[in-house]
């Protein structure tokens, strides 16, 4: 196991190791378009996005969500959000404006204590999970909202359109999402070009940007290792770390790659490319694997042991779930009409915490575990850190809480030193 972000005896102390950044699904059971129209109709059971003691902070976004964003198809709303962020960040003074609007600090002048994990300094333990910025269009803008790191992707070796629409659904009553996007992305080469541009700036050189890579849909399972290798070779020079995604439920057969026999050659191929990049760049490119929450505990342990054997830096746990918990209030008929896809939201918190504790009890202290799934509040972040997470990631809460969410949680969690 590579010693990256090693723990020195507690969840709040960190050792210095590694080098800092240096420059150098399926389509079956698809619902009809009537479902998308149904989603746009107001629902009386919609929960408030505003807490009673924080109305000023959340009021404007809550109104925007209720009056505008919730009336758009989810993918369209997301696309508009990404364009707005990228456009604002590209304006003269845009980064400063974003930080002023959302109460975050200039990362170039931020003197808060930092934790060193995966060879990089993190002033917030909260990062943005893969899936929000699939093609690396606005990673620096997202960091300016207050995230400690941003994981772009999932990206595949070949550009692909993903699954047919509609493929993203809000469960507003549960503050949850169901998606079957299917790794829609512009491909590894396009992402490499975007990240190369971002890394040319001083801000970009210091930014913590992980890259999540997946298998191209047209690639046969037996050829998966070379498919991942291709993406890793292109993207390792620009990645703070690489995350191997074998756990999305929306690419046919992908989760079969979580078996130890099929996973080993994939992990070995990506580690080989990361090692080659380390020689060229004179810095480590840590590699992690992202697993599903639906795995049996014995399978989680087996993957953790495999990660040790092949020299991974750690594990990201966990991806979306194919389960539909009884606690969902959206209604069984509507859930059934939506059909296949990965569920994300607060209902994943319990299982994500279980997997985190299982990994922490299985892996050595110097192995990195990033906890993802069901993270909404500062208390969620504290709970994951106390359970042994090195970093924490969120995504779905960003949709419902708005762009002030990451900065607010960073302030509520407090200093990391």
DSSP 225-274: HHHHHHHHHHHGGG-SEEEEE---TTSTTGGGGGSHHHHHHHHHHHHHHH
The answer to whether 268 touches 314, Cβ cutoff 8 Å, is: no
Residues found in the chain:
417
Which of 196, 195, 183, 193 shows the shortest CA–CA distance to 134?
183
Other C-beta atoms within 10 Å of 76: how many? Answer: 12
Convert 300-339 to b/e letters by CB count within 10 Å (16 or more is b). Answer: bbbbbebbeebbbbbbbbbbbbeebeeebebeeebbeebb
Q: Mark residue 405 as left, alpha or beta (left: phi above 0; alpha: psi -120 to 50; beta: remaining).
A: alpha
The answer to whether 416 touches 113, Cβ cutoff 8 Å, is: yes
Query: Which residue, chain included where needed, has tokens 């130890």?
Result: 260
Q: Rounded to whole angstroms, what are the CA distances from 254 to 17, 217, 257, 258?
A: 33, 9, 6, 8
248 catalytic per annotation: yes
Of the candidates 216, 231, 248, 344, the residue annotated as catalytic is 248
Which tokens belong to 114? 């930092």
Which residues participate in catalysis according to the annotation?
248
């Amino acid at each position: 196991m590579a010693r990256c972000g090693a723990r020195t005896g507690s969840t709040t102390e960190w050792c210095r190791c590694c080098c800092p950044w240096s420059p150098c699904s399926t389509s079956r059971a698809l619902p009809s378009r009537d479902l998308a129209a149904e989603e746009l109709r107001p629902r009386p059971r919609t929960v408030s996005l505003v807490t009673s003691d924080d109305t000023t902070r959340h009021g404007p976004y809550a109104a925007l969500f209720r009056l505008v964003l919730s009336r758009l198809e989810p993918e369209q709303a997301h696309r508009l959000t990404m364009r707005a962020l990228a456009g604002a960040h590209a304006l003269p003074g845009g980064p400063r404006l974003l930080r002023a609007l959302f109460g975050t600090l200039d990362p170039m002048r931020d003197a808060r204590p930092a934790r060193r994990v995966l060879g990089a300094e993190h002033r917030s333990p909260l990062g943005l999970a893969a899936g929000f910025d699939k093609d690396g269009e606005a990673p620096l803008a997202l960091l300016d909202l207050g995230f400690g790191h941003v994981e772009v992707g999932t990206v595949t070796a070949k550009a692909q359109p993903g699954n047919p629409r509609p493929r993203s659904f809000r469960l507003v009553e549960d503050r949850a999402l169901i998606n079957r996007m299917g790794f829609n992305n512009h491909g590894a080469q396009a992402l490499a070009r975007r990240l190369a541009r971002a890394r040319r700036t001083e801000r970009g050189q210091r930014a913590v940007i992980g890259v999540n890579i997946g298998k191209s849909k047209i690639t046969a399972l037996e050829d998966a290792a070379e498919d991942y290798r291709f993406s890793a070779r292109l993207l390792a020079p620009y990645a703070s770390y690489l995350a191997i995604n074998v756990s999305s439920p929306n690419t046919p057969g992908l989760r079969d790659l979580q078996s130890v026999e099929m996973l080993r050659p994939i992990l070995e191929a990506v580690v080989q490319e990361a090692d080659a990049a380390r020689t060229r760049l004179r810095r480590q490119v840590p590699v992690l694997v992202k697993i599903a929450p639906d795995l049996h505990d014995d399978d989680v342990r087996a993957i953790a042991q495999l990660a040790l054997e092949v020299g991974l830096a750690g594990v990201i746990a966990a991806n979306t779930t194919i389960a539909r918990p009884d606690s969902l209030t959206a209604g069984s008929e509507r859930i059934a009409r939506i059909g296949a896809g990965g569920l994300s939201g607060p209902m994943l918190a319990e299982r994500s915490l279980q997997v985190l504790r299982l990994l922490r009890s299985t892996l050595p202290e110097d192995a990195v575990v990033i906890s993802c799934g069901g993270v909404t509040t500062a208390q969620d972040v504290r709970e994951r850190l106390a359970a042994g997470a090195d970093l924490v990631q969120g995504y779905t809460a960003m949709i419902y809480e708005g762009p002030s969410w990451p900065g607010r949680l960073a302030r509520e969690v407090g200093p990391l030193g």
